[in-house]
Structure 1
């Protein structure tokens, strides 16, 4: 599943090219996770003002409304002037004066939804329960530690929940916990203020580095220009079960948490 860095990398790869474009046509393929919520013709003639990100959602600001785009489990977008005919997994196209934005999603868990603005009840339903942005100024140690104190679940599960801090998915939670020296099974309310500060900084560092590396391409992720990510090549623990820790040489272990694989070093990461 594309995580926050992959969504941010996708945004950065086409935002400058599409900004200011006029929508000339909209093509809908097979139904996605949620309906568009408006007749496609309603979008024609509008101008793309900007493309922002909230968690794992791309927010496409229009001259009259907002499109919320989610990549789901297997989605990706491409933006270019020259595209081949749509294939069976191409389910949404926004044709503009600057090029065409196409969503490809083999599993159709992604979505493109129209809302009048972020105060629209539909937008509030999708975005309202998201935690703070980990790369923004609102992600502060004091509030982060306070939030951890009210949760007794394992810290990795708390990070994945997304209601305390948004967008720290499976890959980057494992990596941030390693960098902070915290065992993923440690209960969140047992984490001290100093350890919370280390984890907060580790989350910011890991996500920023992942964005700089173009995200992680584990299967078929690519940005809107078709470029793969390379963060996975320097992962410290994720996907490295049975291999030596890059710091201490101890064998990396894995376990299952909430149906997801977790990777950690039993020496570098303390309970």
Structure 2
């Protein structure tokens, strides 16, 4: 599943092609995505795109009339193409721009979404989200306060969108390793001092992934729209059985919330 850095790179990739462009048509080739595509998305037609933003893993295409909400799901991707280019299999939604380009949502597994938020309203999918991890609102003190009394594993805690948005499986694994925190440790038993180590590490890990993904931007319109999981050296994710980069102990794997969780039994406590 695309995580926050991949979604942010997608936003940065499509933004230059959409901002201040007029949308002439919205074509829905398959309305059966994660949720049915509402007819209201056609209210974008004739509207100028005022901004392309991100909230958690949702992309927001804003206009004076309202906002289209895009989610890439498990396997979705966005492509900017010339108008008239033949559709690919699994191209489900197309936003046609007056400038001669089109934005297409391709989603083989159809777990993505294309929703509508009226001006002045707040869509239910966005209503109960926690702070963005790269903002000043996300702090160690916030994590500490939210964790009191929590018996759930800290990895699941930091992946909870009500606590903080966008810390997906890959970056939760990596951040906890860098902070030396065992992923199964109860969130409520972690001290403020340890959260003071973890919060900036989460910020740094996500920021680095976004920065590394920036190299794909210059070719975004010609690419397949898949920034991918960037060419970075992952320290624990996907490395079960390999030696820890710090102490050379064999890395272990457990399942938490149906997700692969890799950690060092010596470095993480």
**What is the TM-score with the length of structure 2 in the denominator?**
0.91
Whole-angstrom CA distance in 1 between matches of 2:257 and 2:63 = 38
Q: Distance in 2 between matches of 1:138 and 1:127?
A: 17
From the superposition, tell whether residues 84 and 139 of structure 1 become closer, same or farther in structure 2 (CA, over 3 Å). same
Q: Does 1:102 align with 2:104?
A: yes
Relative distance call for 1:141 and 1:28 in structure 2 (3 A) is same
Q: Decide whether aligned partners of structure 1 residues 49 and 164 sit closer, same or farther in structure 2, where only a CA change above 3 A counts.
A: same
- Please, which moves more after superposition, 24-33 or 111-120? 111-120
Q: CA deviation at 1:82?
A: 5.4
Distance 1:152 1:191 in 2: 11
In structure 2, distance between residues paired with 1:193 and 1:86: 52
Task: Describe the SS at the equivalent of 2:12.
Answer: helix
RMSD, matched Cα: 2.0
**Is the partner of 2:15 in helix, strand or coil?**
helix
Q: What is the match of residue 262 of structure 1?
A: 261
Specify the alignment match of 1:179 in structure 2: 178
Pairwise CA distance, 1:118: 5.6
User: Does the 8 Å CA contact 1:24/1:97 hold for their aligned counterparts?
Assistant: yes
1:233-248 maps to which residues of 2 (within 5 A)? 233-248=232-247
Unmatched 5+ residue regions in structure 1?
A: 216-221
Distance 1:245 1:64 in 2: 52
Q: Quick one: distance in 2 between partners of 1:51 and 1:4?
A: 15
Q: Number of residues paired by the alignment? A: 262
**1:39 offset after TM fit, Å?**
4.7
**Distance in 1 between the 2:192 and 2:230 partners?**
29
* SS in structure 2 at match of 1:91: strand
1:212-223 mapped onto 2 (5 Å cutoff): 212-214=211-213
Equivalences for residues 77-156 of structure 1 within 5 A: 77-81=78-82, 84-98=85-99, 99-117=101-119, 119-120=121-122, 123=123, 125-156=124-155
Measured in 2, the distance between the counterparts of 1:115 and 1:249 equals 50
Q: Which deviates the most, 72-81 or 31-40?
A: 31-40
CA deviation map 1:6-58 (0-9, x unaligned) = 11010011112210000111111122122332355432111111110000000
* Post-superposition offset of 1:228: 3.5
Gaps of 5+ in 2: none
Q: TM-score, normalised by structure 1?
A: 0.91
Question: What's 1:194 paired with?
Answer: 193
